[in-house]
Amino acid sequence: MRFHWIMVALIPVCAQETAPAYKNPRLSVDERVADLLSRMTLEEKAAQTQALWQKKALITDANGDFAPEKAAAVLRHGMGQITRPSEKKGPREMAEFTNAIQRWVLTHTRLGIPVMFHEECLHGHAAPKGTHFPQAVALASTWNPALVEEVFTAVAREVRARGARQALTPVLDLARDPRWGRVEETYGEDPYLTAQIGLACIRGFQGQGPALARDRIFATLKHFAAHGQPEAGTNAGPASFSERVLRSEFLYPFEMGIRVGKAMSVMPSYNEIDGLPSHANQWLLERVLRQEWGFQGFTVSDYEAIAQLATLHKVAADKDEAAVKALETGVDTELPDIDAYGRLADLVRAGRISMETLDRAVARILRAKFLAGLFDDPYTDPALAEKVTNSPEHRALALRAAREAIILLKNERGTLPLDAAKLKTLAVIGPNADKVLLGGYSDDPGYFITMLDGIREKVGTRVKVVHAEGCRITEPGGSWYKDEVKLPDPAEDAKRVAQAVETARGADAVVLVLGGNEEVSREAWSATHLGDMDTLELVGRQNELAQKIVALGKPVVVVLLGGRPYSIEWIARNVPAILNGWYLGQETGRAVADVLFGDYNPAARLPVTVARNVGQLPVYYYQRPSGRRGYLFSSKEPLFPFGWGLSYTQFEYSTPKLSRNAIAPAGETEVEVEVRNTGARDGDEVVQLYIRDDVSSVTRPVKELKGFQRIHLRAGEARTVRFRITPAELSMLDIHMKRVVEPGTFTIMVGPNSRDLKSLQLTVTP
């Protein structure tokens, strides 16, 4: 018996010795990549740079299931990626689908190189039954990186269990133009906040890395770079910024994501910088990303962006030239379908692309696949996919995140929280009161709690809840994917307004749910699918509805849901209580109801500045000293400042103190401030640190966020909050583009938002 076990143990060792080196998990990733690359044919290499999406019909049957009999025609040389295998598939179905494709590729291709599957995961897995958390801008509104890491850890579990190992997330664009329809996809306007929330997302996705644990996936930083303030506010418009502004502001979140977060993948942006589209910008993708930042991962194109070098940007004569430019620039994989890279093998044979250039891209792709564990653990468990997807734990996390994302913009006359004991009838009115609103890059999570649902669930039979639509934003409204956007019929909308007024007339208070929907703020991916706006006003008759409801003289609470900040000047002046939620995910109604009735004390903060009107743009807070001289007949102050948010309790800040009032350029100090909850309720406060370089060799912003902490304080409790100030918080790019800390004075500011700050001075000695 002992001899028998010895022989069994020797069998895999002998087999391992005869197997190719790339199949040996005991070798290093670099050794395995080198061995595999040396064995590959030109066609096999080219296939690794390609993906399938709309052309998945070439490998599926009429039901969308994998068809092995069709696969050889497309997959005989392997395939780099399969795009969004989750489409129209539940958790088990997707897991079975990815397993079937993987099994065929591993057993029917010459070298058995596994496929990478990627998914959209902006605020949850954008797939049927996936848990839908608050939209990205709402997650940023929590100012809680620990919570955001929890969210994307949950997302990673769901996506990995279904078979995918790459997320096209996070979006690290700075949302510096609210006309742009993709504000909702970002973490706001600020480089530091975006970097911190982005790092939390990367940690949640990738874990410790670089190799993926069995419940983790790769993060993809996008859109690289300067995509969030497009010319005219229209998606993919040119970005005309100096190198100093690019490096100091737009590139900073990406640099942190690479240097600190070790993100494995990067997606270049659609736009151009200084005449160079990002997919053909070697300065951006080679010099900055790889040489300066040390990026070791792989790049993927934005969807159809390589072909757009020819069709949109006109820097290539045709798709062949576009493919040459993109591959030489450093775009390793073309998404979402075989298109411009479909002729890479022919272009190598013709001498237009060197084998060395192709090998460079393929080696990066293979390295990622080894680190993803695809060669050693290629399959997933369909039962696990069913178990973890939208699990009770993930639903509870979605509710917690939604509560933490709700911003109390205004609360006068004790309007909030509502007291159910003092209400007989509550009117819930507005175009967003009873709508499923998830935002872009979503699917069907299986259930959604509307505002009306949540309020009725909260009050039960204690309060009579009446409802009227009031008006519509679009007709019928709410499809992110549909090309045509149609405004409602004016006569029918006038009837809806009148009906809403009558409904509200008999109520004791009104919750008015306004904002936007997935049609009026979305990705404008073509001239026939627009989503940007030249106004920041509420669409349609929403202002008219608000004015007529307020005229009834009843307590009114406005709840804003949507994808962009709106210029609600009249509402801000005349409505006593305003909540902003963006898109709050599948638990929207429950979360808002908890805040409305005081079961949760709101503490979220604006991650963007809210303009009074479109004429104030750009309105981001970290302007240069000359940037805000003022306007005739109008205020230069925004409607709501960056970092703004109120609570049902009150907080008092002491005068901040420095541990050292003077330091050398390489020195450090610490600022501390005592924060006391002076109200009668427990609550969270977001303590914010801003710094201004008082006199500098090149102009610097009037203030910059350099730290924040979300803390919980019981009623009457005080806590000392400390921020460390190092050269990283004080440094700048000087006239020679060198990062330095210049001697002089710095104003250190601490407070609850970017406007209401207490300050002191720090001296940096020569």
Sign of CA dihedral 586, 592, 598, 602: positive
**How many whole angstroms separate alpha carbon 94 and alpha carbon 709?**
40
Ramachandran class of 21: left when φ > 0, alpha when ψ lies in -120 to 50, beta otherwise: alpha
Convert the pLDDT of each residue in 330-363 to its tens digit.
999 999 999 999 999 999 999 999 999 999 999 9
pLDDT of residue 56: 85
CB-count exposure of residue 518 (10 Å: 0-12, 13-18, 19+): buried
For residues 712 and 719, what is the distance between their CA atoms, to the nearest angstrom?
9
Q: What is the pLDDT of residue 18?
A: 82
- Phi/psi at 68 (5° precision): -55, -35
| pTM for this model (two decimals) | 0.96
Rounded alpha-carbon distances, angstroms, from residue 609 to 190, 558, 630, 755: 10, 19, 17, 11
Side chain identity at 409, as an amino acid letter?
L
Contact between 351 and 53 under an 8 Å Cβ cutoff? The reply is: no
User: Per residue in 79-104, is it b (16+ CB within 10 Å) or e — as a string?
Assistant: bbbbbbbbbebbbbbbbbbbbbbbeb
What percent of the chain lies above the pLDDT cut of 90? 95
Whether 688 has a pLDDT exceeding 50, the answer reads: yes
- Report helix, strand or coil for 610: strand
Find all residues with CB under 8 Å of 337, minimum gap 6, and list them.
Answer: 51, 52, 53, 54, 55, 83, 304
Q: Is the pLDDT of residue 109 over 90?
A: yes
CA–CA distance, 645 with 408 (Å, rounded to integer): 5
Strand order in the sheet with 298-299: 220-224, 265-268, 298-299
CA distance 498 to 104: 62
Is domain 651-764 annotated with CATH 2.60.40.10?
yes
* Alpha-carbon span 188 to 291, nearest angstrom: 28
Q: How many helices (H) and strands (E) does the chain have?
A: 23, 26
- pLDDT at residue 201 greater than cutoff 60: yes
| Residues 586/86/224/625 CA torsion (nearest 10 deg) | -10
- CATH of 406-616 among 3.40.50.1700, 3.40.640.10, 3.40.50.300, 2.60.120.10: 3.40.50.1700
The question of whether 302 is a catalytic residue gets the answer yes
Tens-digit pLDDT profile for residues 11-41: 344 444 589 999 999 999 999 999 999 999 9
pLDDT band of 596, cuts 50, 70, 90: very high
The reported pLDDT for the residue numbered 4 is 36
How confident is the model at residue 209, as a pLDDT? 86
Question: Tens digits of per-residue pLDDT, 254-294?
Answer: 999 999 999 999 999 999 999 999 999 999 999 999 999 99
Q: Which two tokens stand for residue 553?
A: 């003289």
Note whether 739 and 732 are within 8 A (CB): yes
Q: Reduced to 3 states, what is the DSSP secondary structure of residue 663?
A: strand
pLDDT at 6 over 70: no
Report the pLDDT value the prediction gives residue 244, as an integer from 0 to 100: 97
Question: Which architecture characterizes domain 21-388 according to CATH?
Answer: Alpha-Beta Barrel (3.20)
Measured distance CA(47)–CA(678) in Å, rounded: 64
Can you tell me the distance from the alpha carbon of 412 to that of 481, in angstroms, rounded to the nearest whole number?
Answer: 39
Per-residue confidence (pLDDT) for residue 17, from 0 to 100? 53
pLDDT in tens, 152-162: 999 999 999 99
Residue 396 neighbours by CB distance under 10 Å: 11
**Residue 1: pLDDT above 90?**
no
Structure tokens at 360: 């460079």
**Residue 557 confidence (pLDDT) above 90:** yes
- Angle between helical axes of 145-162 and 191-206 (0-180°, round to 10): 40
The secondary structure of the chain in percent helix, strand, coil, rounded to multiples of 5, reads 35, 20, 45
Task: Look over the chain and give the mean of its residue pLDDT values, rounded to a whole number.
Answer: 96
Q: Which two tokens stand for residue 130?
A: 């996936």
Q: Tell me: pLDDT of 569 over 50.
A: yes
pLDDT tens-digit map of 285-322: 999 999 999 999 999 999 999 999 999 999 999 999 99
**Average pLDDT of the residues in 554-577:** 98
Element at 671 (helix H, strand E): strand 669-677
Residue pair 582/137 in contact by the 8 Å Cβ criterion: yes
Predicted pLDDT at 476: 84
Q: What span, in angstroms and rounded, lies between the C-alpha atoms of 613 and 603?
A: 26
pLDDT-derived band of residue 57, with 50, 70 and 90 as boundaries?
A: confident
Per domain, the residue ranges of the chain are 21-388, 406-616, 651-764
Q: How confident is the model at residue 8 (pLDDT cuts 50, 70, 90)?
A: very low
Q: Is 685 helix (H, G, I), strand (E, B) or coil?
A: strand
Residue 711 near residue 684, CB atoms below 8 Å: yes
- Per-residue pLDDT reduced to its tens digit, 614-660: 999 999 999 999 998 999 999 999 999 999 999 999 999 999 999 99
Secondary structure (3-state) at 33: helix
Q: Exactly one of 173, 177, 190, 302 is catalytic; name it.
A: 302
Mean pLDDT to the nearest integer, 111-137: 98
Does residue 718 carry a pLDDT above 90? yes
The answer to whether the beta carbons of residues 279 and 309 sit under 8 Å apart is yes
